[in-house]
Amino acid sequence: MKATAIAPSNIALVKYWGRRNDRLVLPYNGSISVSLNDLFTRTTVEFSSDFKEDIVVINGEVAEGEKFSRVINFVNMIRDIYSIDDHVKIVSENNFPTSAGLASSASGFAALTLACSKALGLNLSDKEISILARRSGSGSASRSIFGGFVEWHRGNRDDGTDSYSEQIVDEKYWRDFRIIVSIVAKSEKKISSARGMKYTVETSPFYKGWIDSIDNDLKRIRSGILDRDIELVGSVAEHNCLKMHSLMLSTVPPLIYWVPGTLQVIHTIHKLRDDDLACYFTIDAGPNVKVICSKNDVKEIEDVLTDKCSIEDIIVTKPGKGARITNSHLF
Ligand code: 2P0
């Protein structure tokens, strides 16, 4: 009844922003991401009738309040579906700096889903695990089940059985693809993505335009990935990110995740591009900027970013493996 899983963080090239069904975590639009080799969560889960209560420890601290309930609500859903009565102990650690403003929900909930399914002997397929992970607090966790480049299908059914993630190509397909994670601020965001996207759907006058433009972005990114075309993937990803941030800015109340350092990196990337370097940015629901480029250009871009921008930390990473079981337990 004890199992440990590792799952990667992922960065969306076509973003997920908006749910058509909150309870089932069904998105309004499909999304495509890359799973990251160097940012992951390890989670050990044990169910036992000997435990008197549920306990959750995240990065060495006993989780309380909203952090605890977000995890336990998901475990309760699994316990309900599979008629489990036992209490659970969950210990989870990120290998990347904590509260660095990097999305940890996707890797965290993907690792939790896989570890729970293994600990309970559920024998689920990858597709079923991805559907279960989708129903956690973090929809993008469904993408972290797979390695390399991954598409989360929007699906059309009301019951969500066709809204799951699938690998496009594995982590070895595009060996030169790199992401430079530039950390410009380490504060935790005030509004969660789930709440932010709900406000956007309800109030942004531009939401229809976003939805209408998604299929074309998905098509172009898919083809760019298959052709290993950094200009195509980078330019479509950057435009998609700016469209998502236009939605955020036009939400009531506005979601302004950028800080001055964010704009410094944006302008520096555009300047590098004017100088013919193929580099593009993408930004999620936070201030930090992820730069998409080829392996050979990493050093030059890193040097310029460090020199011109107020950067607290830089992590260079590449496409990595999907969620997997390991024997190295955390307790
Ligand atoms: C994505 N995001 O496709 C989109 C783009 C953020 C912007 O899925 O509140 O990880 O960060 O714990 O569920 C982020 O969603 O939310 C997300 P938080 P979650 O990657």
Q: Where are the domains of the chain?
A: 2-174, 177-317
| Residue bearing the CA closest to ligand 1, atom 8 | 140
> How many residues comprise the chain?
331
**Where does residue 121 fall: left (phi above 0), alpha (psi -120 to 50 degrees), or beta otherwise?**
left
**The ligand 1 atom nearest the CA atom of 196:** 9
On the 0-12 / 13-18 / 19+ scale of CB atoms within 10 A, 55 is middle
For ligand 1, atom 16, name the residue with the nearest CA. Answer: 193
CATH class of this structure's domain 177-317: alpha beta
**Ligand 1, residues at Cβ distance < 6 Å:** 12, 15-17, 31, 103, 105-106, 138-140, 192-194, 284-285
pLDDT for the residue numbered 99: 54
* Nearest alpha carbon, ligand 1 atom 7: 284
CATH topology of domain 2-174: Ribosomal Protein S5; domain 2 (3.30.230)
Could you read off the pLDDT tens digit of each residue along the chain, which spans 331 residues? 999 999 999 999 999 999 999 999 999 999 999 999 999 999 999 999 999 999 999 999 999 999 999 999 999 999 999 999 999 999 999 998 655 557 679 999 999 999 999 999 999 999 999 999 999 979 999 999 999 999 999 999 999 999 999 999 999 999 999 999 999 998 777 788 999 999 999 999 999 999 999 999 999 999 999 999 999 999 999 999 999 999 999 999 999 999 999 999 999 999 999 999 999 999 999 999 999 999 999 999 999 999 999 999 999 999 999 999 999 999 9
pTM comes to 0.96
**3-class secondary-structure state, position 105:** helix
Give pLDDT, residue 192: 85
In sequence order, the 6+-apart residues with CB closer than 8 A to the CB of 100 are 183, 186, 288, 313
